[in-house]
């Protein structure tokens, strides 16, 4: 549809004039209900149903006539077209009788129209038609009944057979009726026809037993129409008199000697001078009274009395049955509505006949809107038991009418167009008429699916952790060997050129160690070298390293705010995290681009936190921003998942951002990703403000040390490691004995009283390092122990005067310091730290 071209002013004026005098009320309003325009007819019509003092908002103006108009507009979601048609309302009490039809139309974005038409005459005509049709139908039924009744009389049936035929006819008439009130009315009306009575009534006894309410009334067609709900006050004496008989027949109220005082007057209220009264009791007290009245005195025949008695019995039992059925249904409905699962019943064609409250919650439709619609609206398919294992349901071969097919997953479609994963259980059953019905119970499994996903991710990470831990352990062993040998070689080789070569090799070992530890930091709580840090200095280093990464196409900008607060972090981890981010930024940039590294202080207040895991406080924010391709929200959400990568195979491990996030979280901070596709990404690390910087904590440079010839036992199952360690210990000036496992070490310790210290691997076959340490504690308590491992988590605790932990690979310096501190030897190290430093 194309937009109509603008009208000339003159035609516009005419159009406005038309809207002004239009007899249909028109109100234009925005999505929040604000009234923009209103024509006179709208006011004239709405005075019947609305409060016109509020002129600003249409929702509040018509809140009594159309309480959920705001919902109607919201559900429309701005789609142009009719939102709701022909919402009929009657004028409010106390105002002239009037019927209005309201419709809501969405005309354009944020522009809606309420139209109001007077449909009073149409509604009145409809009501008259319905009333006349119903009285017409009743008249026809009466004629047919009287014909049948006459033919029964003509056929000379005896009285018992005629009563039986009558009861059968009434039973037929009420068979399809479910409303107890309608059933009673049918009994009353047909009894009136059969007896030719002037009035038949069916009354309920009031709670106080001092009055009756005549709920159903019959009068012949030529009389005034009956009025239901009339109250008849009765005395105790009247009730006692009536309740004493199954049927009380009074030929003439005026002369009946059984009636005394006020009873006579009270009974006249049932409509005549001659009565048949049939009371029925519940729980020992009068509950119902069936009354048949004739204006003139009438000598009731035995047949008539018996008929009224039988009708009263049948009416009372049918009514109670109907009420019980209704109670059961109400009880069932309340149970169904309480269920947390969605319950839907369809007929054999898949049309929804029942839906509970949970269905409305799950799918977002009001229940009334679902009834009568196909279940495919919700599921895109029918509730078909035949779809699952076992083939189509075969009722002929099962004893039960119900066939259950349990549990498959289906996708539900919500009113707003979104989908929801559901588990479906289906029951199929036949009712007493052989009609097929299908019940579906649907459980929202969104949460369960999320939990499974989280579990799967966690277990994937666990496997990766074990793998990485194992690899790192082996690598650490190798690095220990290489590093130890290189250090010894460096000391022994005097030639300058060779020393440089060895120095480079040692550098490579240290870098390998750093790399290895980064891998370990992902999976274990590695002891970290946390220290207060001046970020400005550190970022200079990071920037110069990043410059190498970026190449010539990508320019680097560093923006560091003055007076950055110190943070407490492991400097190695910080470098690694920043370089990781720089590398990611580079990879995201296609062609030329710019990378910005920035640092600033921020103070976060509760209530304006950028991340749900954040807590209020002071932070230093380090951010790396690129001008690259950016991420979609979905990718950004998963970016920190381990092994999630968008890089080509072989280019990314999926561990980079994961390890950065791990680093930040271990510092008590958090990470925020801000990304727009094709506009670039900014990753910000929020590091909590830490202690004041202590300056450099570089260990003092190493010099040769002397162990003073004291004896040390080196235990390792890896021969290469054992030998290298032994050589290193020897170079440090100690005497060395070696053992290949714990058992051998114990036997050596039993024989050799000169061993003062045991340097042992933790993880070994047979007697491992821990067991060995325990044995030493009980059998040779004076012997010091150093436990070494590449698995950093096995080294828990800080040790004590007799015991130290040393993480592999360690430098000669660290080993020397550890041994010296335990043996108290005079080492060449003057101020070396006496604790292992990871």
CB of 46 to another protein, least distance (A): 9
Q: Minimal CA–CA distance to 730: which of 812, 647, 838?
A: 812
Instruction: Between 55 and 504, name the residue whose CB sits nearer to another protein.
Output: 55
Instruction: Between 34 and 451, name the residue whose CB sits nearer to another protein.
Output: 34
DSSP helix/strand/coil, 429: strand
Please answer whether residues 199 and 218 qualify as being in contact, where contact means their C-beta atoms are separated by less than 8 angstroms: yes
Please answer whether residues 628 and 674 qualify as being in contact, where contact means their C-beta atoms are separated by less than 8 angstroms: no
Euclidean distance between CA atoms 411 and 427, whole angstroms: 18
Q: Minimal CA–CA distance to 760: which of 695, 808, 701?
A: 808
CB of 38 to another protein, least distance (A): 5
CB of 90 to another protein, least distance (A): 15
Instruction: Between 44 and 153, name the residue whose CB sits nearer to another protein.
Output: 44
Q: Residue 5 has what DSSP assignment?
A: P
Instruction: Between 46 and 205, name the residue whose CB sits nearer to another protein.
Output: 46
Please answer whether residues 288 and 157 qualify as being in contact, where contact means their C-beta atoms are separated by less than 8 angstroms: no
ω into residue 219 within 30 of 0, thus cis? no
Instruction: Between 37 and 258, name the residue whose CB sits nearer to another protein.
Output: 37
Instruction: Between 52 and 471, name the residue whose CB sits nearer to another protein.
Output: 52
Instruction: Between 48 and 577, name the residue whose CB sits nearer to another protein.
Output: 48
Instruction: Give the binding site for another protein (CB under 8 A).
Output: 16, 19-21, 35, 37-44, 47-48, 52-53, 55-56, 95-96
Residue for token pair 């005394």:
260
Token duo for residue 231: 């109250």
CB of 58 to another protein, least distance (A): 10
- Going across the sheet that includes 784-789, the strands are 735-739, 711-715, 755-761, 784-789, 803-807
Euclidean distance between CA atoms 68 and 63, whole angstroms: 8
CB of 44 to another protein, least distance (A): 4
Length of the chain equals 838
At residue 46, φ and ψ (nearest 5 deg) are: -70, -20
Question: What residues are paired with 118 via a beta bridge?
Answer: 100
CB of 55 to another protein, least distance (A): 4
Instruction: Between 56 and 460, name the residue whose CB sits nearer to another protein.
Output: 56
CB of 101 to another protein, least distance (A): 17
Residues contacting 797, CB < 8 A, separation 6+: 805
Instruction: Between 40 and 654, name the residue whose CB sits nearer to another protein.
Output: 40
Question: What residues are paired with 212 via a beta bridge?
Answer: 205, 232
Instruction: Between 25 and 707, name the residue whose CB sits nearer to another protein.
Output: 25
Instruction: Between 121 and 778, name the residue whose CB sits nearer to another protein.
Output: 121
CB of 16 to another protein, least distance (A): 8
CB of 89 to another protein, least distance (A): 16
DSSP helix/strand/coil, 222: coil
Rg over alpha carbons for the chain, rounded to the nearest Å, is 47
Please answer whether residues 645 and 635 qualify as being in contact, where contact means their C-beta atoms are separated by less than 8 angstroms: no
Buried residues in 410-433 as b, exposed as e (16+ CB within 10 A): bebbeeeeeebbbbbbbbbbbeee
Question: What residues are paired with 440 via a beta bridge?
Answer: 344, 426
CB of 51 to another protein, least distance (A): 9
CB of 8 to another protein, least distance (A): 20
């Amino acid at each position: 549809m194309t937009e109509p071209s603008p009208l000339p002013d003159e035609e516009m004026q005419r159009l406005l004039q038309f809207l002004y005098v239009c007899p249909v009320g028109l109100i234009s309003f925005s999505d929040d209900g604000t009234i923009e325009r209103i024509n006179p007819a709208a006011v004239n019509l709405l005075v019947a149903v609305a409060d016109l003092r509020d002129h600003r908002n249409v929702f509040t103006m018509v809140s009594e006539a159309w309480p959920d108009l705001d919902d109607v507009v919201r559900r429309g979601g701005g789609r142009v077209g009719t939102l709701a048609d022909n919402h009929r309302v009657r004028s409010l009490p106390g105002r002239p009788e009037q019927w209005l039809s309201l419709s809501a139309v969405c005309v354009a974005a944020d522009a809606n129209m309420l139209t109001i038409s007077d449909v009073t005459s149409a509604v009145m005509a409809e009501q008259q038609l319905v009333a006349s049709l119903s009285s017409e139908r009743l008249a026809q039924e009466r004629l047919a009944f009287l014909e049948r009744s006459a033919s029964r009389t003509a056929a000379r049936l005896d009285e018992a057979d005629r009563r039986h035929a009558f009861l059968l006819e009434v039973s037929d008439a009420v068979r399809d009726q479910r409303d107890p009130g309608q059933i009673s009315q049918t009994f009353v009306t047909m009894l009136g026809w059969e007896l030719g009575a002037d009035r038949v009534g069916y009354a309920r006894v009031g709670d106080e037993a001092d009055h009756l309410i005549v709920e159903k009334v019959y009068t012949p067609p030529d009389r005034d129409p009956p009025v239901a709900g009339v109250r008849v006050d009765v005395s105790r004496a009247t009730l006692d008199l009536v309740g004493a008989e199954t049927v009380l027949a009074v030929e003439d109220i005026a002369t009946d000697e059984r009636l005394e005082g006020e009873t006579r007057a009270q009974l006249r209220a049932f409509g005549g001078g001659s009565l048949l009264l049939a009371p029925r009791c519940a729980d020992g007290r009068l509950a119902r009274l069936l009354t048949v009245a004739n204006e003139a005195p009438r000598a009731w025949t035995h047949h008539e009395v018996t008929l009224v008695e039988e009708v009263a019995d049948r009416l009372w039992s049918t009514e109670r049955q109907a009420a019980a059925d209704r109670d059961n249904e109400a009880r069932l409905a309340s149970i169904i509505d309480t269920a947390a699962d969605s319950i839907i019943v369809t007929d054999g064609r898949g049309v929804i006949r029942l839906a509970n409250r949970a269905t409305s919650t799950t799918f977002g439709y009001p229940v009334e809107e679902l009834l009568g619609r196909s279940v495919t609206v919700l599921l895109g398919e029918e509730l078909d038991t035949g779809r699952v294992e076992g083939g189509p349901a075969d009722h002929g071969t099962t004893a039960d009418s119900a066939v259950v097919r349990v549990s498959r997953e289906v996708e539900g479609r919500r009113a707003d167009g979104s989908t929801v994963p559901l588990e479906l259980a289906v029951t199929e059953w036949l009712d007493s008429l052989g009609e097929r019905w299908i019940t579906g119970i649907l459980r929202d499994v969104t949460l369960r699916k999320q939990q499974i996903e989280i579990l799967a991710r966690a277990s994937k990470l666990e496997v990766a952790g074990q793998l990485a831990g194992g690899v790192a352990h082996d690598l650490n062993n190798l690095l220990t060997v290489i590093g130890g040998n290189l250090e010894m070689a460096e000391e022994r080789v005097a030639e300058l050129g060779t020393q440089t070569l060895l120095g480079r090799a040692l550098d490579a070992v240290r870098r390998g160690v750093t790399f290895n530890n980064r891998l370990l930091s992902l999976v274990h709580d590695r002891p970290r070298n946390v220290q207060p840090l001046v970020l400005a200095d550190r970022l200079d280093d990071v920037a110069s390293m990043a410059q190498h990464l970026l190449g010539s196409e990508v320019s680097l900008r560093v923006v560091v705010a003055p007076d950055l607060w110190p943070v407490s972090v492991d400097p190695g981890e910080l470098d690694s995290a920043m370089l990781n981010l720089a590398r990611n930024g580079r990879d995201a940039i296609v062609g030329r681009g710019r990378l910005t590294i920035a640092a600033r202080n921020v103070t976060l207040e509760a209530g304006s936190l950028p991340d749900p895991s954040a807590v209020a406080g002071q932070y230093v924010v380090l951010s790396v921003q690129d001008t690259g391709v950016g991420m979609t929200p979905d990718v950004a959400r998963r970016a920190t998942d381990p092994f999630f990568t968008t890089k080509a195979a072989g280019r990314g491990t999926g561990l980079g951002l994961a390890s950065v996030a791990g680093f930040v979280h271990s510092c008590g901070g958090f990470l925020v990703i801000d990304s727009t596709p094709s506009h670039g990404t900014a990753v910000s690390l929020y590091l909590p403000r830490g202690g004041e910087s202590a300056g450099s904590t570089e260990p003092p440079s190493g010099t040769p040390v002397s162990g003073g010839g004291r004896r040390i036992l080196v235990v390792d199952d890896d021969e290469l490691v054992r030998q290298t360690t032994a050589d290193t210990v020897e170079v440090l000036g100690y005497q060395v004995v070696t053992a290949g496992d714990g058992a051998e070490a114990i036997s050596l310790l039993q024989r050799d009283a000169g061993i003062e210290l045991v340097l042992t691997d933790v993880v070994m076959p047979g007697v491992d390092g821990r067991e060995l340490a325990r044995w030493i504690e009980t059998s040779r308590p004076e012997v010091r122990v150093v436990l070494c491992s590449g698995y950093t988590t096995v080294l828990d605790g800080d040790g004590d005067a007799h015991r130290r932990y040393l993480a592999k690979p360690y430098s000669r310096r660290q080993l020397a310091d550890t041994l010296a501190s335990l043996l108290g030897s005079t080492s060449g190290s003057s101020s070396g730290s006496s604790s292992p430093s990871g």
